Amino acid sequence: MKTLNLTCILVLTVFYSQNTFGQDFIRIGAAHDFQKNKVVQTFSFDFNRTEKVDEKKGRFLLFDKNDFYILPTSDVNIGDGVTSSENNILFQLNLGKAFYGTKWKSADNLTTYVWNKAIEFNPSYNSDKLFSEKLTYGQAKFLLNFISARHNGAVEPIFVKTEHSIATGLFTNLGYRYSKTYDTDNLYSTFGVLLDYKTRLLNSKNEENWVFKVTGNYYYIASDVSQLTSDNFGGIIKSSIDRLTFKNTYLGLSHKYGNDNPNYKYVHTLELSVKIKY
């Protein structure tokens, strides 16, 4: 097989506006698709003009009382770039109960640790952008989240220097698949594990110098429309590194490998990109 060389030329024109809200960003990049052996241009943006949405945590709670919560989430990818993306349209309503652990400190008192747990039941809808594969299911999830953060020192002005968060859990999906492609339907049932890891290295201005992320899942397909996949297992792993290069501008490298619903379409890409937060 021919050696794959990735050469990316990044052209960037951004109209810079005054800092209004920290979470908005534009990301422009080039990705190599190993499945098709070609370079594709990627472009994504994220605007949040509603003050209450904390994009960083990606959450806007509808309800929270005594650690019971209702959290609507959505993930919508529409456009040309969807071949290198797995979920095209996903809506979930997370109904959960969180159990917050007791904090403890390192011997030098600079690091704080905690274990959190959560159980969730999530009614979900997942389809591709043409609505040819539709999944309607309930998801039960158990999550374990370990968080640690280290300060620069014990004398003011202090700031968080490193933060690690690793979440892992078990999930099971049970529902119904309608496949327009094969004009058939079936019981949809999977169970598996998930992983969500993030490390941030920050400077004294609270800017993220480095951000490392790995997210993924791996699951057993107990029942689905048999024409869609001959695999017994499905899963995807996504990893990324972002480096602050100059003010609000990040250089990023990300890798995706695996398949995911609704189509079980294999994805294998390596992307180099520039992200501007403003």
Chain residues in the site for another protein (CB under 8 A): 51-54, 56-57, 60-67, 98, 100, 103, 105, 108-110, 112, 114, 116, 147, 149, 151, 153-154, 156-160, 163, 165, 198, 200, 202, 206
Nearer to another protein, 186 or 240 (CB): 240
Smallest separation, CB 195 to another protein (Å)? 16
Nearer to another protein, 164 or 255 (CB): 164
Nearer to another protein, 156 or 183 (CB): 156
E strands, 34-159, in order = 38-46, 63-65, 68-76, 89-100, 104-105, 111-127, 133-151
Nearer to another protein, 71 or 90 (CB): 71
Dist. CA 79–CA 179, nearest whole Å: 21
Smallest separation, CB 142 to another protein (Å)? 17
Dist. CA 270–CA 127, nearest whole Å: 24
CA dihedral 261, 263, 266, 268 (to 10 degrees): -60
Return all residues near 9 (Cβ < 8 A) that are at least 6 apart. Answer: 30
Nearer to another protein, 116 or 172 (CB): 116
Burial of 271 (C-beta count, 10 Å sphere; 0-12/13-18/19+)? buried
Smallest separation, CB 192 to another protein (Å)? 24
Smallest separation, CB 119 to another protein (Å)? 15
Smallest separation, CB 155 to another protein (Å)? 9
Count of beta carbons in the 10 Å neighbourhood of residue 217: 19
